[in-house]
Structure 1
Amino acid sequence: MSFVFKLARDAIVSQITWPVETSNGKRLKETCMICFEDTDATQMFTVDGCFHRYCFSCMKQHVEVKLLNAMVASCPHEGCNTEVTIDSCGKFLDPKLVEIMSNRKKEASIAVSEKVYCAFPRCSALMSKSEVLQYTRTVMLVAEQSGARKCVKCHRFFCIYCKVPWHFDMTCIDYKRLNPHPAREDTMLNTLATKKRWRECIKCKHVIELAGGCYHITCRCGFEFCYTCGAEWRNKKPTCSCPIWDEPNIIHNRQRRQ
């Protein structure tokens, strides 16, 4: 009976719209199926694609919760997987949250090995390697050979190899020789990585922590390497002579799973 009642409620309540007399004349009211409050029809949000409707307040809370959990927001109607478009969220979300949603969607669409971030800390815009190269080619024909890239957001140049502002009149080797001391933030990260025994993937440069298990690491970019020395694994076999595992580490991993 409860299931039948739910179907009847979903079919009927979602279509309830009626005129209400106000000081400014008649206005349409509609019932939100989340909070069951009678809401002005102009304050109801329609999900593109499935046309389910909810009040702005409920949709705002729904989308914000998804953002906090690093998830893409979909229609809150039970069993409906229609994605809530970023453009439509501008009706009830703060512009900063809309930007976060846009960045999340873009980040999910770019392969790990293709991701590039602007080297300027106050920008740090996310781009794909092909996107930033194509953008740079509009102003620099030798962009691919030089390593210079122009950020699509702040429009400043940086080096895709050194991950620093573009060094116009010197090579990467010369720049590192003249600037041997890394930035304070990089120094802190390197110190923490050394202390925690983190390893950096030589292909995508992501930092990885081994919580337990063997020392054969498969990075999310697909590159396989030895966690002990960083040597590449080829055809599921190590190219180094480091131990593949040690008993305390395997036991620790099993205990965590239990």
Structure 2
Amino acid sequence: MLRFLKSSPTEMPKIIKTETLSGDRQYSRSITIDQTKVHSIRELKKVLGVKLGLLADRFDIVKMADVLLYDDQERLPDNLASPLHIIVHPAERTVFDHLVTPAKDMINDFEDDDRTMMSCGHGIVPDNLYDLCWNNLKQGAVEFQCPAIEQFNVRGNQAPCGEIWTLYEVTIKAQLSVDERILFEMRLSKNSIQKEDSVQECPFCRCLSVRANEKNNRVRCLNCSHTNPDRSEFCWQCLHQWKDSHAREFCGNLQCSTAKGVHMSQEILRTCAKKTIDNYANVPAVRACPSCHALVEHERGCKRMTCKCTFQFCFVCVKPWTSEGCGYNKTCSSVAPCQVVSK
């Protein structure tokens, strides 16, 4: 007897082009990646490092949409961009002779490396300065503030220095490479824009979006409308996908603030989708709890529903889940129609 085995499809090698943020042609390459062997960012950096002539700690891969850096432990994304943008770090971060200070490092008291003196008089190792500033930028900072704790304060209250450092000072004293300087500028701009009330970040592609009318919570991302039209609209309030294509005021997510109000609740009950639950067809996917009237959405499971108020009821016939009402061994006489909520 002959047995035919299905051969598993082999992944084709992927060609990735690399570019630095600064456009340094020295690191522009077209590199072939074997996707069957490369599964993480760490493994990808090993391959790129050999081709670029760089150690893995000398460069990082940029998430352009987020203006962040990939972590080495992350899995290799399926939609890895090409060209792939990287930043090259300096081989070492030295301290200019006239800036060397005996002051302790404000981050680590036990640092033996040379510390550079900041404009506020505090000292820090350049590598620590880079890490400090980049971590603050990742958390949304729009300026660089000295975190050093003042040693002499009245009644022992310890307060941070709080001196503001300019990007120019950080560039010089952290010995930022050209790529790092560009990355810092990009992140500062993104953080500044995000603090504006008129701007939101698309939850799908992370691009910045604005709404034409401040009373309209339904926003269409211009970038997603080209790349993924079926998933391009989101709610300004809850930042989830806009579910109801016909609704103008409610996005379809019950946890959203746009779902409040009796009239809105009635509209949700009237327009919600229908589904099959325990072989009962055309059951409204949203019900109002018979006890507290809160809206409850059925996601999965049987017809038994427990509201946040702890009241239990049947999602099909909307009777209480008791021996006198509905239960596991009782057949619903009919599917309850859309409920009517009162003021």
TM range (shorter): 0.3 to 0.5
- The structure with the larger Rg is 2
TM-score with structure 2 setting the length: 0.31
Higher helix share: 1
Highest RCO, 1 vs 2 (Cα 8 Å, sep ≥ 6):
2
